[in-house]
Amino acid sequence: MRRNNKQVTTYFILFSLLLIGVVYAILQANLQINGTAKIKANTWDIHFNNIVVNENSVSIGTGDSPATIDPNNNCKVDFEVTLSLPGDFYEFTVDVVNAGTIDGMIGELSKTLKVNNEVVSEMPDYLEYSVTYADGMEILENHKLAVGFTETYKVRLEFKIDIEELPESTTITTSLEPQYLQADSSSVVRPNVFVSGTWDQIVDAYNSGAISSLQATMEAGTTREVQLDMDNNGIPETTAHLRIANLSTPSECSSSGFSQTACGFVIEFADIINDYEIHSSFTTEGGWSTSKMRTYLNDTSSSISIINSFPDVLKNKIIDTNVVSSTESVFTTIDKLYLLHFFEIYGSAADSDNLTLNELRQLDYYNSVPVTKTKWAGAIKKKNDVNSVWWTRTYSDSSRFMIVGSTGYRGFAYTNQKYGVSPAFRLAE
């Protein structure tokens, strides 16, 4: 009996294998993988272009020559100048263009310095020489220059003022050769000047016209942190976030009476830094111009004002701005900090306060999001990571101003209610 059981089992296994074999034969397929590779012609073309000399630079004297791209080698710039007096300087910008089809990156930065034709390791203490990006950021190895992109270098040579004694006539020869290589995995996009630069560098980037990176930063809604001393105890304890709200200055900004609040380099808080009221009583008399909020933002004599909570390196860059607002009448004030107007956010008329529409424009940032009266999510701001209500400077009626709701939708609130404070300001030298 045992043997018979073993035999039955054996036959069953064999039958199963045969069955599998039959099925496999029925379902068999012939597989092919065919491929054709074509190598497209590429070009390597990274070169200098477009030299612009600072208009305040020392004049080119006899025997000297202005900064010029070598006609036989567009990767070479030469210049020769004479600096006669302390304070004299020569400065220019030059573009580095990737007009080829292959991404590049900076390899070795070769530097040579000669004094009276002898190689030295340090610049004489009476002379300052720098080559940076136009926004003041340092040129570093491995920075990527993608196809179709342009970087702008700024070259400056200055006879320093703070010297102890005048030098004898000297010839200084400088050479900087940034070698560009084909980009590989080690290449990096250079640091965003708005995120990692100093406020001097950020303002310099705007003033020099090198705003392509600032433009991308604005449209991405990129923010940078700022530490505020809200209780004025000398210790910055509040972390807030700033973003670029505007970069353009269209011709309308030059019109008489036009509000400058959405003209030029405008920075706004991307979040809500505190809660406060527009007026302490149930009124809109005087609107923004007489508001408690305006004083709270701008009064430098007050220990609780927002302007006094700013770090000095930023506060010193904020410029006065002509701010247009209205109730039944139009008001113009001059402020460092201001709340945004409904029109500057949504780009269209509010349900009231339409007296100033010809003096206002939508901020570039809200235009690019976009934010409109029917598409408002881009106007949402948070306090402590929670969507919250924030004030505008827009008059509604005899007791209310307009607010931006927690969903970004417009609304109204009595002026003595405490809602979010999220001001804006403009920067310059």
* Side-chain-facing half-sphere of 276: CA atoms under 13 Å: 21
Q: Phi and psi for 252 in degrees, rounded to 5?
A: -60, -25
What pLDDT was estimated at residue 22? 44
What pLDDT was estimated at residue 270? 98
- Ranges of beta strands (E only) in 213-299 are 223-228, 238-246, 266-269, 274-276
What pLDDT was estimated at residue 91? 93
**Which alpha helices (H) appear in 189-280, and where do they start and end?**
193-196, 199-207, 212-220
- For residue 197, CA distances in Å to 151, 160, 201, 317, 327 come to 16, 24, 6, 14, 40
Q: Contact, 275 vs 421, CB < 8 A?
A: yes
- pTM over 0.75? The answer is no
| Residue 403 to residue 417: CA distance in whole angstroms | 11
3-state secondary structure of 187: coil
3-state secondary structure of 139: coil
Which amino acid does the sequence have at 45?
Answer: D
What pLDDT was estimated at residue 149? 86
What pLDDT was estimated at residue 101? 94
Cα 20–chain centre separation: 67
Task: Find all residues with CB under 8 Å of 292, minimum gap 6, and list them.
Answer: 276, 277, 278, 279, 280
- Residue with the two structure tokens 């993988």: 33
What pLDDT was estimated at residue 191? 76
| Residue 207 to residue 427: CA distance in whole angstroms | 10
3-state secondary structure of 421: strand
Over the chain (429 residues), the average pLDDT of each successive run of 10 is: 40 37 59 86 93 92 90 90 91 92 90 87 88 84 88 90 82 87 88 86 81 83 95 90 96 94 97 96 91 96 94 95 92 97 88 71 96 94 96 93 95 96 92
What pLDDT was estimated at residue 353? 52
What pLDDT was estimated at residue 112? 87
